[in-house]
């Protein structure tokens, strides 16, 4: 199946290695577009783009709310990751949700498309 048509979010696409996460935050660059802060670093491994999603416990005390927001973000990324597959380099990404209210899917989708387009054009 063509990567552009693959709308799955596989385990290989999740950034979970502690060493890689530390490297991302130590050496990575960032883009801020409300309600997201995107920290990214290019990598040369044959692995696909890798994503870490973070929602602050300080802003959302209930785990139910944090998990809901992470699900929404994961869904928007899953349906729009084809925007990144056109770029030559592969990235490790940390998507940090900074707003203090639970978002609507439509708003999140629009903002994620904007921030991924910005990343692709760098």
Query: For the chain, how many structural domains are there in total?
Result: 1
pLDDT tens per residue, range 7-66: 888 899 999 999 999 999 999 999 999 999 999 999 888 888 999 999 999 999 999 999
* 1 inside domain: no
pLDDT of residue 5: 59
Q: State the Cα–Cα distance between residues 39 and 101, nearest whole angstrom.
A: 21
* 36 inside domain: yes
DSSP H/E element including 32: strand 29-33
* 95 inside domain: yes
pLDDT of residue 1: 43
- Asked if 44 and 97 count as a contact pair (C-beta separation under 8 A), the reply is no
CATH at 79: 3.30.230.10
* 3 inside domain: no
Q: Which residue has the higher pLDDT, 109 or 122?
A: 109
Domain that holds residue 75: 9-60+68-120
* 102 inside domain: yes
* 4 inside domain: no
The one-character DSSP state at 4 is G
Q: Quick one: CA dihedral 71, 101, 27, 76, positive or negative?
A: positive
Sheet with 29-33, side-by-side order of all strands:
29-33, 36-43, 90-97, 50-55
pLDDT tens per residue, range 55-114: 999 999 999 999 999 999 999 999 998 888 877 789 999 999 999 999 999 999 999 999
Q: State the Cα–Cα distance between residues 84 and 4, nearest whole angstrom.
A: 9
């Amino acid at each position: 199946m063509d990567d552009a048509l693959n709308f799955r979010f596989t385990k290989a696409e999740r950034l979970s290695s502690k060493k890689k996460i530390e490297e991302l935050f130590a050496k990575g660059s960032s883009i801020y577009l409300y309600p997201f802060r995107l920290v990214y670093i290019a990598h040369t491994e044959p692995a696909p783009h890798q994503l870490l999603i973070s929602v602050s416990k300080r802003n959302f005390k209930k785990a139910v709310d944090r998990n809901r927001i992470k699900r929404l973000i994961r869904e928007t990324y899953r349906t729009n990751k084809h925007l990144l597959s056109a770029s030559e380099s592969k990235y490790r990404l940390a998507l940090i949700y900074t707003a203090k209210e639970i978002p609507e899917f439509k708003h999140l989708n629009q903002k994620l498309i904007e921030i991924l387009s910005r990343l692709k054009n760098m």
